Amino acid sequence: MICRVCDSNKLELVVDLGDQPWCNNFLRADEVGKEPFYPLRVLFCRNCTTSQLDFTVKKEIMFGDHTYLSGVTKSLSAHFYQIASEVDDKFFKEKRQKSILDIGSNDGTQLKHFQSLGYEVLGVESSKTTAKIANDAGVPTIEAFFNEETMLKIGRQFDVFNASGVFFHLEELHSVCRAIKQGLKKDGVFVVQFLYMKSIMENLAFDQIYHEHLLYYTLKTIEILLNRHGLTMFDAYLASIHGGSIIGYISHIGTRSLTPRLEAMRTEEETSGCNSIEAYRKFDGRIRQMKKENLEFLSNAKAAGKKVYGFGAPVKGNTLLNFFGIGPELIQCLVEKNQLRRGLYSPGMHIPLMMEEDVKVSPDIYYVLAWNFKKEIMANNQDLIKKGVEFYFPVNPMVSA
Ligand SMILES: [Zn+2]
């Protein structure tokens, strides 16, 4: 195995989360117990310091027909709106004809906001179901994996490229980078959103590690990748989404100047030591301690005769449930509002999902897997909290949506 970014072979295992099912694969009753398991291990590159998974689940399995819909959560839609208006205000306000290509455009939530600002939009989405939802909603979407081949077929350039997270899942990393380099206009801006490894470590949010996320970036390591392809990040900030994500603005090298706020963040990152192998070793020790504490909490709740439901069934929740070893004997069901997941079971631990509207009697404890929406969840559930329902957060984000 060689480093996905720099091709070095100096890789070292730093976090081993065991064998895990593909976390997005919620199961029908007849599929329970038949799902395959794959190693989930993070390796650290001693050469370029990028952390990454060593095992790749094939992209056709991972992204063929996922059921994650970005339109479902209010705070995500608000976040997408903010991104669109910010990009337009900052870079393209004066421009008459402007265009955007969204990589992994999901149900078109992000592109709708750009449409309303007068952009010609194009989505590229690998999930058939999701691409259809977008097209039906009036957002032109190609059903494909984004790479050089797809870019060649599209055959024109765009003012803006957008990739919210998904860009960094892709196994054809360098092909994707080359495609962006080719498809981005000279003064174009590529907007990325990615999980910030520094935040993951600070939050102990190890559940953000799953097979879809092949790479875990910091400002330093993403720059190494971008530079390889003639691109550079010139501005960035930390957003509360997913407990701490970077929104970064990227251009062709030599076209825009580095902002003081990105310079300051880079300095802070370097000072924090998060690009060292020691930081990863420490992180690993702390999540093993967390496992002990969480199992103790749930066993005590069970012994006290308390009923515990999971709150939300995010894909990352499956990393947590599988690593901690939490099954239906500790958490009876996962309460979820995505209707595409009605009647399904969580992969690996086989906890049944229950639709929000079907919960007639509240449990004693909600174990919150969708912890990154802590603020929204706490605000929406004041009635239950007043009635004495406990909301337990296995991961406590320093910033939340
Ligand atoms: Zn490397």
> Is the pLDDT reported for residue 79 higher than 70?
yes
CA 299 to ligand 1 centroid distance, Å: 41
Res 130: pLDDT: 87
DSSP H helices, 33-167, are 59-63, 74-87, 109-116, 128-136, 148-154
CA 4 to ligand 1 centroid distance, Å: 7
State which H helix or E strand residue 156 sits in. Answer: none
> Is the pLDDT reported for residue 98 higher than 80?
yes
CA 48 to ligand 1 centroid distance, Å: 4
> Is the pLDDT reported for residue 67 higher than 60?
no
CA 269 to ligand 1 centroid distance, Å: 18
Q: How wide is the angle at C-alpha 49 spanned by C-alphas 173 and 246, nearest 5°?
A: 65
Q: How confident is the model at residue 65 (pLDDT cuts 50, 70, 90)?
A: low
pLDDT tens digits for range 298-319: 999 999 999 999 999 988 999 9
Q: Counting every residue, how long is the chain?
A: 401
Q: How confident is the model at residue 63 (pLDDT cuts 50, 70, 90)?
A: low
Buried b (16+ CB within 10 A) or exposed e, 26-45: bbeeeeeeeeeeeebbbbbb
Predicted TM-score (pTM) of the model is 0.88
Q: How confident is the model at residue 115 (pLDDT cuts 50, 70, 90)?
A: very high
- The least confident of 80-84, 134-138, 185-189 is 80-84
Helices 315-324 and 277-303: angle between axes, nearest 10 degrees: 80
CA 317 to ligand 1 centroid distance, Å: 28
Res 340: pLDDT: 83
Buried b (16+ CB within 10 A) or exposed e, 295-316: eebbeebeeeeeebbbbbbbbb
Amino acid at 285: G
CA 2 to ligand 1 centroid distance, Å: 8
CA 88 to ligand 1 centroid distance, Å: 34
- For residues 94 and 96, give the distance between their C-alpha atoms in angstroms, rounded to a whole number: 6
Q: How confident is the model at residue 320 (pLDDT cuts 50, 70, 90)?
A: very high
- The least confident of 2-11, 119-128, 392-401 is 392-401
pLDDT tens digits for range 264-278: 999 999 999 999 999
Res 68: pLDDT: 53
Mean pLDDT estimate for the chain: 92
CA 44 to ligand 1 centroid distance, Å: 8
CA 203 to ligand 1 centroid distance, Å: 24
- The least confident of 20-24, 151-155, 283-287, 385-389 is 20-24
Q: How confident is the model at residue 327 (pLDDT cuts 50, 70, 90)?
A: very high
pLDDT tens digits for range 217-237: 999 999 999 999 999 999 999
> Is the pLDDT reported for residue 396 higher than 90?
no
Report DSSP letters for 211-259, one per residue: TT--EEB-HHHHHHHHHHTTEEEEEEEEESGGGSEEEEEEEETTSSPPP
Q: How wide is the angle at C-alpha 168 spanned by C-alphas 262 and 239, nearest 5°?
A: 40
Res 275: pLDDT: 98
> Is the pLDDT reported for residue 322 higher than 70?
yes
Helix, strand, coil: what percent of the chain each, to 5?
Answer: 40, 25, 35
CA 173 to ligand 1 centroid distance, Å: 13
- Mean pLDDT calculated for residue range 82-90: 95
Q: How wide is the angle at C-alpha 329 spanned by C-alphas 323 and 334, nearest 5°?
A: 70
The 3-state secondary structure of 256-301, one letter per residue: CCCCHHHHHHHHHHHHHCCCCHHHHHHHHHHHHHHHHHHHHHHHHH
- For residues 259 and 271, give the distance between their C-alpha atoms in angstroms, rounded to a whole number: 19
**Residue written as tokens 């924090």?**
272
CA 214 to ligand 1 centroid distance, Å: 13
